[in-house]
Structure 1
Amino acid sequence: MSISLQKNQTVSLAKEAPSLTTLHIGLGWDPIKKKGGFLGGLLGGGGADSIDLDASVIVADGNKRIIDEVWFRKLSSNDGSIKHSGDNLTGEGDGDDEYIRVDLTRLSKDAAHIVVTVNSFRGQTFNEVDNAFCRLVDEKTGKEICRYELREKGSNTGFVMAAISRDGNGWSVKALGAPTNGRTVKDLAAPALNLI
């Protein structure tokens, strides 16, 4: 059964999924439904606009130095252990809008942290976003290990969603849900590293 994470809660992936080798990081969101009524709909005020959020990961070493970044402009890590699904420009549809796969067996031994971020490339704020989530799935079994539902709204254009970190006992995940601003992962890197 999947664990529903609360903000700042940490879960041991080694304990919850001891045979985990490939991690699926799924992120999803919906455009917030606008109220407009019949006349508003005729004049373009009803319905929902598409939201172009971008899921990314920052890989850092134990000293919080960036080793790599994977995002819509760089769909694979330098060592090939991390792959991005590609850019979703709308947020429409059910399930994961974007996902990132991490082969933990091929990940650099220097990688101590994988920080998951989401940002609005077009500058739309999270006041315009609904039902945002981040979930971790054991790729081999298809079992959802945990899920973090982002309930916060705000005028920010990004969130540092979670940090997946390695220690002597294996990997763990911490739900962060920290608001920040930026149009790409490059803008979110400094605040993200301050949270791990």
Structure 2
Amino acid sequence: MAISLQKGQKVDLTKTNPGLSKIVVGLGWDANKFDTGAAFDLDASVFLLNESGKTRSEKDFVFYNNNEGGNGSVVHSGDNLTGAGDGDDEQVKVDLQSVPQDVAKIAFTITIHDAESRNQNFGQVSNAFVRVLSEETGEELIRYDLAEDFSIETAVVVGELYRHNGEWKFSAVGSGYQGGLAALATDYGLQVG
């Protein structure tokens, strides 16, 4: 049975699941029935971070246009343009044993594509979640349903995998940002042109 987390909670992943090495991180959302004149296109992105909380290079930014990072240890499933239907909208596979040693944290984010020009924000998004599954068994191990407390934000850091004493843990973050993907990328040490 999955552990259901609240914002700010942290939980052991590998310590409580011995032998777990390959996981799938599923992210999902629903757009509310607002007519902003344009369809919603939400995107899951992943940042591989060092001890200082920064990417080592642009290769540590994994998203629909760069769907592999960490020497192949993190693989994005590709872009879902609508978010329609039940279940995960986008997935990221992580081979925990193959993540480079100088990657201390893996941040999972959801952003709204062209949010400002489309006049869209996370106040118009509901049922956002992140969940961690065993790739081998498909069992859901951890789930974090984001509460509906966003308004003007255009990007959200939903959760983080991080190393602690040789084990992997998961943190339910749920922090919103204005400025979309560009603001997140800049915070994580990338040059945004």
Q: Flag the 1:104–1:28 CA change in 2: closer, same or farther, 3 A.
A: same
Deviation at 1:61, TM superposition (A): 1.4
Letter in 1 for 2:139: K
Instruction: Give TM-score, length-normalised by structure 1.
Output: 0.85
Identify the residue that residue 77 of structure 1 maps to in structure 2.
69
Identify the residue that residue 55 of structure 1 maps to in structure 2.
44
Name structure 2 gaps, 5 residues minimum. none
Letter in 2 for 1:122: D
Q: Secondary structure at the match of 1:176?
A: strand
When the two chains are superposed, the root-mean-square deviation of aligned CA atoms in Å is 1.9
Q: Flag the 1:49–1:146 CA change in 2: closer, same or farther, 3 A.
A: farther
Q: Secondary structure at the match of 2:97?
A: coil
Deviation at 1:141, TM superposition (A): 1.6
Letter in 2 for 1:64: G
User: Residues of 2 paired with 1:55 and 1:32: CA distance?
Assistant: 18
Identify the residue that residue 91 of structure 1 maps to in structure 2.
83
User: Residues of 2 paired with 1:191 and 1:3: CA distance?
Assistant: 30
- After TM superposition, what 4+ stretches of structure 1 lie above 3 angstroms from structure 2? 189-193
Identify the residue that residue 175 of structure 1 maps to in structure 2.
172
Q: Flag the 1:93–1:10 CA change in 2: closer, same or farther, 3 A.
A: same
Q: Secondary structure at the match of 2:14?
A: helix
Q: Flag the 1:169–1:80 CA change in 2: closer, same or farther, 3 A.
A: closer
Deviation at 1:50, TM superposition (A): 3.8
1:13-162, aligned counterparts within 5 Å? 13-34=13-34, 50-67=39-56, 68-77=60-69, 79-123=71-115, 124-151=120-147, 152-162=149-159
Q: Aligned pair count?
A: 180
**Percent identical residues:** 40
Matched-pair contact (CA < 8 Å) for 2:62–2:75: yes
Instruction: Give TM-score, length-normalised by structure 2.
Output: 0.86
Matched-pair contact (CA < 8 Å) for 1:14–1:169: no
Letter in 1 for 2:90: E
Name structure 1 gaps, 5 residues minimum. 35-44
Deviation at 1:33, TM superposition (A): 2.7
